[in-house]
Amino acid sequence: MESYLKENFEVEPKNPTEEALKKWRSAVWLVKNPRRRFRMVADLAKRAAAEKKRRKIQEKIRIALYVQKAALQFIDAANRTERKLSEEVVQAGYDIEPEDLAYIVRSHNTKTYDFHGGLQGLARKIKVSLRDGVLSSDISKRQQIFGYNQFVEKPQRPLWMFIWDALQDMTLIILMVCAVISVGVGIATEGWPKGMYDGLGIILCILLVVVVTAVSDYKQSLQFKDLDKEKKNIIIQVTRDGTRKKVSIYDLVVGDIVHLSIGDQVPADGIFIDGYSLTIDESSLSGESEPVNIDKKKPFLLSGTKVQDGSGKMLVTSVGMKTEWGRLMVTLSEGGDDETPLQVKLNGVATIIGKIGLAFAVLTFLVLTARLILTKYISNELLKWSMNDGLALLNYFAIAVTILVVAVPEGLPLAVTLSLAFAMKKLMNDRALVRHLSACETMGSATCICTDKTGTLTTNHMVVTRLWVAGDTKEIKSKEKLKSSISEKVLTVLLQSVFLNTNSEIVKDDTGKTNIIGSPTETALLEFGLLFQNNYNQETKNMKIVKVEPFNSVKKKMSVLVALSNGKLRAFCKGASEIILNMCDKIINEDGEIVQMSDKQRKAITDVINGFACEALRTICLAFKDLETGSTSDNTNNSSDIPESNYTVIAVVGIKDPVRPGVKEAVKTCLDAGIMVRMVTGDNINTAKAIAKECGILTADGLAIDGPEFREKSDEQLKDIVPRIQVMARSLPLDKHKLVTFLRNELKEVVAVTGDGTNDAPALHEADIGLAMGIAGTEVAKENADVVIIDDNFKTIVVVARWGRSVYINIQKFVQFQLTVNVVALMTNFVSACTSGSAPLTAVQLLWVNMIMDTLGALALATEPPHDGLMKRPPIGRDVNFITKVMWRNIIGQSIYQLIVLGILQFNGKRLLNLNGPDSTAVLNTMIFNTFVFCQVFNEINSRDMEKINVAKGMFDSWVFMIVMVCTVTFQIIIVELLGTFASTVPLSGSLWLASILMGAVSLPVGAILKHIPVESSAHHGHDGYEPLPRGPDLA
């Protein structure tokens, strides 16, 4: 079975090939209900058509942007007359039609832009202040006139459509036809109303199955809809009511002033207001990979594009479906998401079992028919056929079809969807947003987590605690004492560096309280600056920022060029201490004078940096350089480059970023679970080592390495050192990518990697599971990730790993349970048909059993929450057999027990139970049905743990499981005691009920005995997910 599955039903968790997707689709056979089975499977034909449509739209956009644009420049603006304003727009108080406004940016038409008065003219026409932004009171009015920033999405399918889908099951349709014929023939032979009961019972049971199935599917679809909306929600920084705020992308309106920085997605079409070195990647929209520089001469920004470099502000001019991105987004959702490896594998299992079930169904029908013909032949009635004989044949056919209903486990692939939907919803509550379904599964196999330090292992609440300035190290405790110990000249340059060389902004909220909006490092520096200078504008009012080079993870520095009040230029630089120190050859002394830096002073500063780092402080070096010549004219922005050398050191600051509470325990949990944790950070190696030791990541035999050193190693050297690497410091995004690739390809590890920056995108994409940070992460990083860690916390990553394992184990539990029911139901009816000429389980009873094992069984077992024991096992191997030897042991053992019990009841039940009288056969058949159902109820409890004897542990905490159990037992009582007319049952006495329950309950001790039978564990290529890990000192 496993070799067949691996050959035909194997797909990669990430980016599976088109060939693999087509291969398993062609291998699937005997699908009862394609509409339901493949509801959560990508439609390749639709996807190809959508891709074609998307490329067509991209080509149109590209032509509009790069070809028509040139032609449009020749159109005389005077010839373009303004469209007459509609009554609605006039009443709202605006001076431009929404379509005209959208056209300007969409067509990049500078002539029309100038015709409307440029940026200032458009701002006047849409009634917005470029300084204070829109008023909150105007939001609803703007949304009515200019539209909402939402794209047209497929409406949620109503419940009746899911009922219709569930009714498309071919076997159920055949059964309904049989039931209708049965009603007709029954009334003709047995009269009204007795003749209709059998057929009506089947119809009612089918309707119950359909409704329960449809409601389950409908609830799942609602969960996915909510998660899908959450995935597309982006938090945007805007200026409204004169203050800077964070709003959802869905709440953005025309007139909003949006702040953009590296890695952001442009949330709507708009006009550039101001900014520095703003470079946009338009490839997602136009297909052109060449980045576009945005400035006041080329001010048009398109929704859906990405900020590649720089920062800036834009005025929103059109939103939602009035943008090209809105039209493109409609095509992106066509075709659906890729199916997960487990979904594909279980489609394979369903195909194999379906073939076996079909053979048994045909055999059962042939045996029953043959027995009927033989009986008629013996009694010389072969040519005499009555309506009753026709009804008997119809009944045999219905039983054969019902065996097929039970035998084809349509619910197996859908149980994966159910389990994943449940896990995704719970993970959302636990602060993790799953973007790709397969990540939930793959996380259960993770053997290694490469994690960032800042914000993930640490709190990201940074405070400057140490300062080295002018040759002296100071503790940041008393503001007055600190201020008096630094000369006025040095303090002036230090504060200029802090307030001018920053990407953050100091704003006042509605209550007048000062807030800082920006990265935690920048916030810590600005808070430090505000200790000395509350009126920060004083430092910057006479200076003009000429050029900015924003911080990025490759250069590890940020620089700014400033025009001073005397007309000269001054460059400020800050960043990774060693890098900035290497750019400096001078130092500012305690009197504020610039002097050449001696080797001794350089060594002293290096010792300070290392000293701070060993105390687990993040070190930032601040430097400046006065340029000999300079100009404040407008062309400075283009002509003046920020220097890269000969700077003067101002200060080194030590920033404390404490380790998050609970991280050490989370790391220990990972180690217990066989998951290696590696820290990959851009920080100083001493800082990294100190934090790694505090978290329990760096052990005595572990290796800490610098990024530059790692880069120089050959592949042979890497094979030796990579397994021991626990910390990589001063790493570039490319180092992270190289490490992930090596771990996956050479060491065959299943790698989860965290990332927040734009440059982390390749590593996130390459890893088996890419984990983007929700707070610190850029939109580019989130887009390339499989899971977004909303709270940036390492503990949340461990929660994702637990749920990943839980999903896999839960599906295994369900498969074990369902296969046991399949084997017993098939064998019972087949053997009985061969020996006695009748099936003890009727069509209605088999349909009820099918619902217990399919929809209700999936609900009970596939939604079990994870328990702590999951993280005391090794990871689930990459290539292990899905149906393990442990599962086969349990399936075969339970099946043998149930078949023996049902066989004894079938052939010797009347004598054993002392059944006499005319209704003894009906009582015996009801008893067999009842015992069979209770065997499944107790086996469902047994399946909660495939290895442990105590299967009741945590059972009462799983409310879904308990509700399913109560509903199953309650409805079984109703069927037996009250619905006998339809279900072919008769009421049972108290002693027979007790006997049924006890025979079912014996499954529990049988399960306990089976678990004592040793099973040979899997081969070296992976774990079967059940052996406990070694504990104690030998673990390390």
Cis-peptide, bond into residue 840, ω within 30° of zero: no
Q: For the chain, give the mean pLDDT.
A: 83
Which residue did the predictor score with more confidence, 1006 or 632?
A: 1006
Asked if pLDDT for residue 1025 goes beyond 50, the answer is: no
Nearest to 28 by CA among 345, 342, 351: 351
Can you read off the two tokens belonging to residue 705? 């390495």
Q: Which amino acid is at 223?
A: Q
| Total residues belonging to the chain | 1036
Most confident range (mean pLDDT) of 61-75, 319-333, 786-800, 838-852 is 786-800
Q: What is the pLDDT of residue 1031?
A: 37
Predicted confidence band of residue 635 (pLDDT cuts 50, 70, 90) = very low
Cβ atoms within 10 A of the Cβ of 828, count?
21
Asked if pLDDT for residue 630 goes beyond 80, the answer is: no
Side-chain-facing half-sphere of 609: CA atoms under 13 Å: 24
DSSP 855: I
Dihedral, CA of residue 1015, residue 1018, residue 1020 and residue 1025, to nearest 10? -110
For residue 519, CA distances in Å to 345, 497, 525 come to 44, 17, 10
Can you read off the two tokens belonging to residue 290? 């060449």
Q: Which amino acid is at 302?
A: L
Q: b or e along 198-231 (b: 16 or more beta carbons within 10 Å of the residue's beta carbon)?
A: bbbbbbbbbeebbebbbebbbebbebbeebeeee
Rounded CA-CA distance 572/650 in Å is 10
Which of left, alpha, beta for 662 (phi over 0: left; psi -120 to 50: alpha)?
left
Average pLDDT over residues 685-713: 92
pLDDT in tens, 862-918: 888 888 888 988 898 777 788 888 999 999 999 999 999 999 998 888 888 888 888
DSSP 408: S
Helix locations, 191-340, DSSP H: 197-232, 283-286, 324-332
Q: Which amino acid is at 570?
A: R
Can you read off the two tokens belonging to residue 380? 């010389």
Q: What is the pLDDT of residue 1020?
A: 37
Predicted confidence band of residue 539 (pLDDT cuts 50, 70, 90) = low
**Measured in whole angstroms, how far is the alpha carbon of residue 394 from the centre of its chain?**
49
- Ramachandran angles phi, psi of 203, nearest 5°: -60, -45
HEC sequence for 744-758: HHCCCCCEEEEECCH
Side-chain-facing half-sphere of 91: CA atoms under 13 Å: 6
Which residue did the predictor score with more confidence, 35 or 26?
A: 26
Rounded CA-CA distance 24/674 in Å is 32
Rounded CA-CA distance 24/347 in Å is 8
Q: What is the pLDDT of residue 770?
A: 92
Predicted confidence band of residue 57 (pLDDT cuts 50, 70, 90) = confident
Predicted confidence band of residue 688 (pLDDT cuts 50, 70, 90) = very high
8 A C-beta contact, residue 875 and residue 750: yes
In this predicted structure, which of 190-199, 409-418, 966-975 has the lowest mean pLDDT? Answer: 190-199
Asked if pLDDT for residue 66 goes beyond 80, the answer is: no
pLDDT in tens, 761-787: 888 988 999 999 888 888 888 888 999
Asked if pLDDT for residue 328 goes beyond 90, the answer is: no
Average pLDDT over residues 453-459: 88
Q: What is the pLDDT of residue 75?
A: 47
Nearest to 840 by CA among 918, 904, 895, 891: 904
Q: b or e along 19-42 (b: 16 or more beta carbons within 10 Å of the residue's beta carbon)?
A: eebebbeebbebbbbeebbbbbbb
Predicted confidence band of residue 640 (pLDDT cuts 50, 70, 90) = low
Most confident range (mean pLDDT) of 718-722, 869-873, 917-921 is 718-722
Q: What whole-number percentage of the chain has pLDDT above 70?
A: 91
Predicted confidence band of residue 73 (pLDDT cuts 50, 70, 90) = very low
pLDDT in tens, 820-832: 988 888 888 788 8
Side-chain-facing half-sphere of 338: CA atoms under 13 Å: 20
Q: What is the pLDDT of residue 1028?
A: 40
Active site residues: 452
Asked if pLDDT for residue 459 goes beyond 90, the answer is: no
Rounded CA-CA distance 856/623 in Å is 67
Name residue 517's beta-bridge partners: 505
Asked if pLDDT for residue 726 goes beyond 70, the answer is: yes
Predicted confidence band of residue 1000 (pLDDT cuts 50, 70, 90) = very high
In this predicted structure, which of 358-372, 534-548, 708-722 has the lowest mean pLDDT? Answer: 534-548
Q: What is the DSSP string of 235-248?
A: EEEEEETTEEEEEE
Asked if pLDDT for residue 492 goes beyond 80, the answer is: yes
Q: What is the pLDDT of residue 937?
A: 92
Average pLDDT over residues 253-264: 91
Q: Which amino acid is at 507?
A: V
Predicted confidence band of residue 12 (pLDDT cuts 50, 70, 90) = confident
Q: Which amino acid is at 644?
A: E
pLDDT in tens, 333-380: 555 667 788 888 888 888 888 888 888 888 888 888 888 888 878 877
Q: What is the pLDDT of residue 622?
A: 96
Can you read off the two tokens belonging to residue 292? 């576009």
Predicted confidence band of residue 1029 (pLDDT cuts 50, 70, 90) = very low
626 Cβ contact list (under 8 Å, min separation 6): 568, 569, 570
Average pLDDT over residues 744-755: 90
H or E element, residue 656:
strand 647-656
1005 Cβ contact list (under 8 Å, min separation 6): none
Q: What is the pLDDT of residue 797?
A: 92
Rounded CA-CA distance 142/732 in Å is 44
* Helix and strand element counts for the chain (H, E): 42, 26
Cβ atoms within 10 A of the Cβ of 16, count?
19
Rounded CA-CA distance 11/44 in Å is 15
Predicted confidence band of residue 142 (pLDDT cuts 50, 70, 90) = very high
Max intra-chain CA distance, the chain: 125
Q: Across 355-456, where does the E strand assignment appear? A: 432-434, 448-451
Rounded CA-CA distance 287/183 in Å is 63
Q: What is the pLDDT of residue 282?
A: 85
pLDDT in tens, 103-130: 888 888 888 888 888 999 999 999 999 9
8 A C-beta contact, residue 760 and residue 736: yes
Can you read off the two tokens belonging to residue 600? 């001794």
Q: Which amino acid is at 384?
A: K
Q: What is the pLDDT of residue 636?
A: 39
Handedness of CA 242, 248, 249, 254 (dihedral sign): negative
Burial grade of 532 (CB within 10 A; 0-12, 13-18, 19 or more) = middle
Handedness of CA 878, 881, 885, 888 (dihedral sign): positive
H or E element, residue 500:
helix 488-500
Average pLDDT over residues 641-656: 92
Q: What is the pLDDT of residue 410?
A: 72
Q: What whole-number percentage of the chain has pLDDT above 90?
A: 31
Which residue did the predictor score with more confidence, 166 or 509?
A: 166
Asked if pLDDT for residue 629 goes beyond 50, the answer is: yes
Q: What is the pLDDT of residue 835?
A: 78
Can you read off the two tokens belonging to residue 357? 């079930």
Asked if pLDDT for residue 289 goes beyond 80, the answer is: no
**Measured in whole angstroms, how far is the alpha carbon of residue 879 from the centre of its chain?**
23
Predicted confidence band of residue 284 (pLDDT cuts 50, 70, 90) = confident
DSSP 567: S
